[in-house]
């Protein structure tokens, strides 16, 4: 009975989140596509044409496509969950779920599924746009799919935790501005860390986004700055740690129950 309740509740939350993304598609799907198109034009075409081939014999445009796709996935899965869950807190509609008989993991999983869905749809759209600028052959489809799914999940979990602590809308903008954006730009989206000297190469290796970008780049181009196996270990460890933290916060009702 309880399991049945949880499955229907999970379907309800995920469905509601996906319906929301589609309902406000001009805010959720179009802006990241426009931003990434500008990146392709400016960095790939205009500046990239001045750069000769980079690692593995790929053009600079081909090299940055996986990083830009992962960057849009990370940003969108994070923004989706943080704004949607904080919005539910702000309007107090989160109480609908808190007074219901479903388990805490259902609330978390429902929101994460919605955010991962947005991240993957945006990632797919950006990939399609990239094909207007360059040609790509997916080297390892399963690695590519697994890495974007794990990357989106990690940032969906992080966004959920941020939204739990947030007391005002400004609080959900702090992490993207001061944490995600710098880590993304320093996470090997636009360059290979082999171009860096020490200690910057070692410092770069403690940035989790480096592993996500390189795992996906391996999936698409077949090249990576880090061991792909190790990248998956790091990503899975982040998923586990953030899931445990989010569930603990839900159990204690941080920011939700008095």
Partner 1 sequence: MTSAPALVVDNLRKTYGNGVEALKGISLTVQPGDFFALLGPNGAGKSTLIGILSSLVNSTSGDAQVFGMSVNTQRSEAMRLIGLVPQEINFNQFEKPFDICVNEAGFYGIPRKIAAQRAEKYLKELRLWDKAQHQAREMSGGMKRRLMIARAMMNEPKLLILDEPTAGVDIEIRRSMWQFVSGINAAGTTVILTTHYLEEAESLCRNIAIIDHGTIVENTSMKRLLATLDVETFILDVTSAPAELPQLPGIILRRTDEHTLEAEMARSRDLNTLFAALSANDIMVNSMRNKTNRLEELFVRLVENGRQAPEAAESKHKGQGKAA
Q: Which of 88, 116, 186, 221 binds partner 1 (CB under 8 A)?
A: 88
Q: How far apart, in Å, are the Cα atoms of 6 and each of 99, 106, 146?
A: 14, 6, 26
Q: What is the 3 state secondary structure string of 138-193?
A: CCCHHHHHHHHHHHHHHHHHHHHHHHHHCCCCCHHHHHHHHHHHHHHHCCCCCCCH
Residues 10-29 as x/- pattern, contact with partner 1 by CB under 8 A:
-xxx--x--x----------
User: Interacting stretch for partner 1, rule CB under 8 A, among 2-10, 113-121, 165-173, 228-236?
Assistant: 2-10
Residues in 158-177 at the binding interface with partner 1, rule: CB under 8 A = none
With beta carbons less than 8 A apart as the criterion, state whether 82 and 163 touch: yes
In the complex, the smallest distance separating the C-beta of residue 256 from partner 1, rounded to whole angstroms, is 8
251 binding partner 1? (CB under 8 A):
no
Task: Count interface residues toward partner 1 (CB under 8 A).
Answer: 30
* Cβ atoms of 114 and 20 closer than 8 Å: yes
Helices 60-90 & 141-165 angle (0-180, nearest 10): 30
Q: Does 95 bind partner 1 (CB under 8 A)?
A: yes
Among 18, 33, 55, 103, binds partner 1 (CB under 8 A): 103
Q: Which residue ranges make up the site for partner 1 (CB under 8 A)?
A: 1-2, 4-9, 11-13, 16, 19, 87-88, 91-93, 95-103, 253, 257-258
């Amino acid at each position: 009975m309880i399991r049945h309740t949880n499955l229907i509740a999970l379907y309800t939350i995920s469905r509601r989140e996906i319906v929301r993304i589609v309902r406000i598609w001009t805010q959720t799907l179009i802006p990241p596509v426009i931003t990434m198109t500008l990146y392709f034009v400016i960095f790939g075409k205009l500046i990239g044409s001045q750069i000769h081939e980079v690692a593995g014999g790929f053009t600079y445009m081909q090299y940055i496509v996986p990083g830009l796709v992962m960057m849009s996935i990370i940003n969108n899965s994070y923004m989706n969950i943080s704004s949607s869950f904080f919005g539910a807190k702000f309007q107090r509609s989160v109480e609908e779920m808190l007074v219901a008989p479903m388990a805490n993991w259902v609330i978390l999983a429902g929101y994460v599924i919605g955010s991962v869905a947005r991240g993957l749809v945006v990632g797919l759209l950006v990939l399609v746009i990239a094909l207007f600028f360059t040609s790509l052959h997916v080297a390892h489809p399963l690695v590519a799919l697994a890495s974007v799914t794990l990357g989106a999940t990690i940032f969906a979990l992080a966004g959920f935790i941020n939204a739990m602590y947030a007391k005002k809308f400004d609080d959900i903008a702090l992490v993207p501005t001061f944490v995600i954006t710098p880590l993304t730009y320093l996470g090997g989206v636009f360059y290979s860390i082999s171009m860096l000297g020490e200690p910057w190469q070692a410092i770069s290796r403690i940035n989790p986004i480096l592993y996500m970008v390189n795992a996906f780049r391996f999936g698409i181009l077949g090249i990576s700055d880090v061991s792909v196996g190790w990248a998956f270990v790091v990503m899975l460890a982040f998923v586990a740690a953030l899931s445990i933290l989010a569930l603990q916060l839900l159990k204690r009702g941080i920011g939700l129950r008095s």
